[in-house]
Amino acid sequence: MYKSVFALLGLALAAMAVDTRYWSQDAQSDFEKGKLKKVALRSDGRISLSPALKELADPSIPYLWTAVAAPNGNLYTAGGPASGKSVIFEISRSGQSKKLAEIEGMNVFALALDKSGRIYAATSPDGKIYRISTAGTVETFYEPKAKYIWSLAFLPDGDLLAATGDKGELHRITPSGSGRVWMKLDEDHIRSLAIDAKGTVYVGTEPGGLIVKADSAGNPFVVYQSVKREVTTLTTGKDGSIYAAIIGIKTSGTSQVMNNIPVVAPIPPPQQGPNQNTQQRPPVGAPPLQVNMVPGGSEIMRIDSDGAPTRVWSHPSDLVYAVAMDANERLIVGTGNKGNIHSVDGPASSTLLASLSSTQVTGFAKDGSRLLVVTGNIGKIFELSNTLEATGSFESEVFDVGSFAQWGRLHAKEVQNNGTLRFETRSGNLDRPTQMWSAWAGLNEGRITSPAARFLQWRAVLSGGQQNGPSFSQVDVAYLPRNLAPRVDVVEATPINFRFPASSISIVPIASTLTLPPIGKAATPVNTPQNDGSNSPTLSYARGMIGARWIAVDDNNDTLEFTVEIKGENEQTWKPLKDKLKDRYYSYDATTLADGKYQVRVTASDSPSNPLNQGLTSSRISAPFQIDNTAPEIKDLGASPAGGRVNLRFKASDAISVISKAEISINGSEWHLIDPTVRLSDSKELEFQLLLDRPTQGELTIAVRVTDEFDNQSVAKTNIR
């Protein structure tokens, strides 16, 4: 965001002087353009240290879809895709990872844990549920005869619920593995599943975007219908509320649920050889695996215990794959395709807590007060702590002044120094930071010490503090662009005998209106590009007038004023025509000038936008053009009888310009065009001869009018009896 000290709140001034200006960043959208490293960004634009995030394990798999934590602290997780089999991983509380079991199936989208510690894994797209003992023994537990199994959850009585697609069924399975369709919906997929503390069952669907509550017999009741398409995940709060993440745009046609699942080709088994791992993964620095992009963004709805819905969070592009309540009953949101973790802090407040190296946050699992995060592309496990990172930094986007500039002070607002907050800057004349920029340098009593240049970047380094570390909410950078001389790129003369409209008043009026930005939005830049003069107004006919027009630009976008001068071909000095002209065009009376060739010089000055005696100028001269105020000469005009007709003859000549036309009038009648003997009017000297029908036998008066290309005219007449 750019603002001038004379342009706060979007005040539209007509001039933008080269005075002190400010680059200001204060909104969440401003800071999202920078790089956040172990810092959190609140929706009101405040930056602080983020909760500590530690990578706990890396099972070397493209995607982890789901995870469940056991009472002993072990985490079980699985994902895909795989070549024929999926792996169930066991990660200890300390982060030690091992393969617990392998099961048939390409993806595991759902895991559940029973009271005996046995793991239940649901595979897709072959739709089977496997039961795995703590020792890793695998048995087929239930086959719902569905293609997809999206979610698993245990009822208080020990029965297992399985949400399936592509038939929109919810199966209820006893501990012995006997199951049935407990609820059938007119939806393609029951996409998500949650059970609250009272044992009430809630499901989310696709493509209707429904949140449905089931009674004790499995009868459905819709508690909310979203304008979006797919309820990807559900979670419950201690107060009986339900939180639902809903994504995508509703469209007609078949189900699109798999479009919302990132797609990646299975990783083939590697060539076995000495010192080779048994699994392959993309090399460091390789581009991300291919994922689908889903339009429509996301929203999270809270359904209160009495059934009232409230939207508590939304994002135009992030897709929510996972939600969970942390130890403080704060809603945590995991998204793709940037691997972001958000917290919902209140009805209109949220915080971007972290951006992971993996591009999707696909699941959460709780282990006491610990919140564990599983990801996709690449599949990893992280631990999100309740304590803050020891240090973090924010690196701004690169600011382009557009010209060489001197830097002033960097000022942060609403600073809370519960720890250490340090600002640094670097500058350069290349549009991206490289070793050819200056090094990062600290401030000197708030003043930027980086060299004057075109580009600038700042960063904040935060450290210290466990409960409320350092934070800030706005940074203003003062700068002074180097004044650049304006340029007059083209000057051209306009056709003779036409004039521009009267010049506008050169004094810039003070703005009498004030336009505020939309509520909650930052003031917009007032540095609006000015008209360069390439489009000029329509001319009107005016005998003897001629004009000039020009293109002029100023890289500082300063207000320009112009001086117009003229000089004859053999003259030594320029004569003034007009000064302090605001318009990029001017008309003047050519009849006050002698015949001959002339040139116009236009000088542009940016003085109106700069301090006294600091304005700069530049000039450009037009190509030579002709002024001709002398009428052509008619010579040897005569008429003689020729039988019953009249033979008319004369010559026309002009010292400077071409004869453009000749006309005759007989006895005062209207004028009629006639051709020269050569048929073409393309010369300074022309002859005319023609036979005219004689309308009467009495005296005949013939008038001849000759016009040159500058619209100068001569008239002569002859009589014949």
Q: Where a domain ends, among 611, 627, 643?
A: 627
Tokens of 29: 């959208």
pLDDT for the residue 520: 56
Summarize the confidence of residues 638-664 as an average pLDDT: 92
Give whole-number Cα distances, 62 to 149, 358, 359, 427, in Å. 20, 10, 11, 39
Per the structure, the count of domains in the chain is 4
Cα dihedral value 554, 558, 563, 569, nearest 10: 0
**395 plus 255 within the same structural domain:** no
- 529 confidence band (pLDDT: 50, 70, 90): low
Q: Domain holding 621: CATH number?
A: 2.60.40.10
| DSSP characters over 15-73 | ---SS-EEEEE-SHHHHTTSEEESEEEETTS-EEEPEEEEEEEEEEEEEEEEEEE-TTS
Question: What is the pLDDT confidence band of residue 469, given thresholds at 50, 70 and 90?
Answer: confident
Which tokens hold the place of 407? 């830097």
**235 - beta bridge partners?**
243
The size of the chain, in residues, is: 721
- The residue-averaged pLDDT of 235-251 equals 93
Q: Identify whether residues 223 and 316 lie together within a single domain.
A: yes
513 belongs to a structural domain = no
Instruction: Give the residue among 631, 636, 687, 679 at the shortest CA–CA distance from 655.
Output: 631
Q: Tell me: do 62 and 186 sit in the same domain.
A: yes
Burial environment of residue 27 by CB neighbours within 10 A (0 to 12, 13 to 18, 19 or more): middle
The C-alpha atoms of residue 660 and residue 650 are separated, in whole angstroms, by 15
Q: Write the DSSP string, 399-445.
A: EEEEEEEEEEEEEEES-B-SSEEEEEEEEESSSS--TTSPPPEE-BT
Q: Which residues contact 503 (CB under 8 A, 6 or more apart)?
A: 578, 581, 582, 583, 586
Q: Answer yes or no: do 424 and 451 share one domain.
A: yes
CATH number of the domain to which 377 belongs:
2.130.10.10
Do 190 and 323 lie in one domain? The reply is yes
- Other Cβ atoms closer than 10 A to 546: 25
3-state secondary structure 694-714: CCCCCCEEEEEEEEECCCCEE
Domain housing 408: 19-36+391-481
Percent of the chain with pLDDT over 90: 75
The predicted pLDDT at position 269 comes to 38
Mean pLDDT of the region 697-711: 91
What does the pLDDT read at residue 250? 86
pLDDT, tens digit, 9 for 90 and up, residues 399-458: 999 889 999 999 999 898 888 999 999 999 999 999 999 999 999 999 999 999 999 999
Among 451, 481, 511, the domain boundary falls at: 481
Nearest Cα neighbor of 188 from 148, 227, 228, 160 is: 148
Lowest mean pLDDT among 27-31, 500-504, 639-643, 649-653: 500-504
**What percentage of the chain reaches a pLDDT higher than 70?**
87
Claim to verify: residue 539 and residue 654 sit in the same structural domain:
no
332 part of a folded domain: yes
Same domain, 662 and 597: no
Domain CATH for 425: 2.60.120
Same domain (yes/no): 329, 367:
yes
Picking from 341, 357, 386, the residue at the C-terminal end of a domain is: 386
Q: Over the range 496-507, which residues count as b (16 or more CB within 10 Å of their CB) and which as e?
A: bbbbbeeeeeee
State whether 79 and 164 are in the same domain.
Answer: yes
Residue 433: CB atoms within 10 Å: 16
